[in-house]
Amino acid sequence: MLSLGPCPERWCPLTEELFLRDSYLRSCEATVTGVELLKGSKAYVELDRTIFHPLGGGQPSDEGSIVSPRGAFAVKKAIRDRGRIRHWGRIEAGSLEVGDTVRCELNWEKRYLVMRLHTAGHILDYAMLRLYGRLVETLDAFHGPPEAYLVYSVSEPPDAYRLEEEANKVVERGLSVAVKFVPRGELQAHIYNAPNVSRLPPSEEYRVVEIPGVNAMPCTGTHVSNTREVGRIKVLGVEREVVGVKVRYTVV
């Protein structure tokens, strides 16, 4: 059985989020800082550092495993909670205890698909700008399975063929996708073609994802390092919503 460790919520340290600096990191070593037992074999596990991107920021949670010499835990979902990342899942074998050194392993197939879809989402934002001649705000977005989509603040749907064509022009250029961290006071100097900036939560530092000449926007998601890795963007459908227009898409 997993052991509940002596880590009251007010004392638990913040989690180092390794994925913010390296989306390609598939595994890491970490130390267990807290465990909360739930019904049956379910539990929350907290670590001092993690490769598991939590649900949020327009993408699904990573999945994978946390393993020590004495136990194994299947990560089904990670959530961000007041600066910490909590890993929810199932006890597979043995036990984990506070202070244990563990090895974290990603479900890489799912993560890499999400990386491709999230970068594709940024490219579609640019394609919308090209079609409408202005920056188009996004009302909602989800860059992952089972269905990736973006909801744009427009009244008339874009032509799906033209949208797909504009997006794939960017993919084919093989542009680098770079990440940088920018102090709050310098943010405006580092972003362009970025929708929704007015809705940013306050922060002392922002992570900016840039595709040169396309857009540079605040984003905490995982991305590929070159647009060619996206593959071909396929627009599956364009539909009017109660407010805005939903663009469903995938990568092939």
Residue 39 within any structural domain of the chain? yes
**Domain-located, residue 5:** no
For residue 166, the domain's CATH number is: 3.30.980.10
Q: Are residues 128 and 160 in the same domain?
A: yes
Q: Do 40 and 78 belong to one domain?
A: yes
Same domain assignment for residues 157 and 143: yes
Residue 234 placed within a domain: yes
**One digit per residue, pLDDT tens: the chain, 252 residues?**
333 344 444 445 589 999 999 999 999 999 999 999 999 999 999 999 999 999 999 999 999 999 999 999 999 999 999 889 999 999 999 999 999 999 999 999 999 999 999 999 999 999 999 999 999 999 999 999 999 999 999 999 999 999 999 999 999 999 999 999 999 999 999 999 999 999 999 999 999 999 999 999 999 999 999 999 999 999 999 999 999 999 999 999
Report the number of distinct structural domains present in the chain. Answer: 2
What pLDDT, on the 0 to 100 scale, is given for residue 234?
Answer: 98
User: Residue 2 domain-assigned?
Assistant: no
Structural domain for 72, as ranges: 16-106
Domain stop point among 82, 106, 130:
106
| Final residue of a structural domain among 106, 134, 169 | 106
**0.85 surpassed by pTM:** yes
Q: Looking at the structure, do residues 200 and 137 belong to the same domain, yes or no?
A: yes
Query: Which H, E and C letters describe the chain, residue by residue?
Result: CCCCCCCCCCCCCCCEEHHHCCCCCCEEEEEEEEEEECCCCEEEEEECEECCCCCECCECCCCEEEEECCEEEEEEEEEEECCEEEEEEEEEEECCCCCCEEEEEECHHHHHHHHHHHHHHHHHHHHHHHHHCCCCCEEEEECCCCCEEEEECCCCCCCHHHHHHHHHHHHHCCCECEEEEEEHHHHHHHCECCCCHHHCCCCCEEEEEEECCCEEEECCCCCCCEHHHHCCEEEEEEEECCCCEEEEEEEC
